[in-house]
Amino acid sequence: MTTLKNFIQVGDKAPDFSAIAVYEQEFKRVKLSDYLGKYLILLFYPLDFTFVCPTEITAFSDMYYKIHSLNAEILGISVDSEYCHLAWMQLDRESGGVGDLKYPLVSDLNKQISLSYNVLNNEGKSLRGLFVIDKEGIVQHSLVNNLDVGRSVDEALRVLQAIQYVQTHADEVCPANWQPGQSTINSKYTNSKEYFKSI
């Protein structure tokens, strides 16, 4: 298996790509650069027609409008073909499919996208990688789970909100478990003590 010499890190420019996706029962070409000006959640997952994957894919779809309201979009990506994605979407949830989704599923059949984001395992499947990319195309968050462990949609949403908060509030940082509306920490040392006095 080919490996990358330079791994993608938080703070790096997100690797661009162009690929076929399935959205609203149609094939369409998507490019990462199409999403500049918006936040983007890249949601890598191993394979269609498996067990943990549909729970994640549908959970993110169910949360789509909340994420979309934050000027953010979602792209699901696996190494399946676009035809496999379409078949999976045409099957309802009760039968093991994902039904109609509110965001596209991208085909990474040649595995180059997964490779460029360093989530391709030795079996040729994508690990459960989640990347939050900001409006400038910079990776602000990355999380990678092994195949058997699903991710939290609520935590992905919280991280997105925290990223947006600190990007629009100079000299403020978000403490552990921060939620919108809670206190932040002033990043200047002398002022940061006010937060710690309050907890």
Alpha carbon 80 to its chain's center: 18
Residue 79: name the closest of 46, 40, 36, 34 by CA: 46
Candidates 21, 22, 43, 53; catalytic one: 53
Active site residue 174: no
Name the CA radius of gyration of the chain, rounded.
Answer: 18
Q: Are 53 and 46 in contact (CB under 8 A)?
A: yes
Q: How far apart are CA 114 and CA 77, in angstroms?
A: 8
Q: Which residues are catalytic?
A: 53
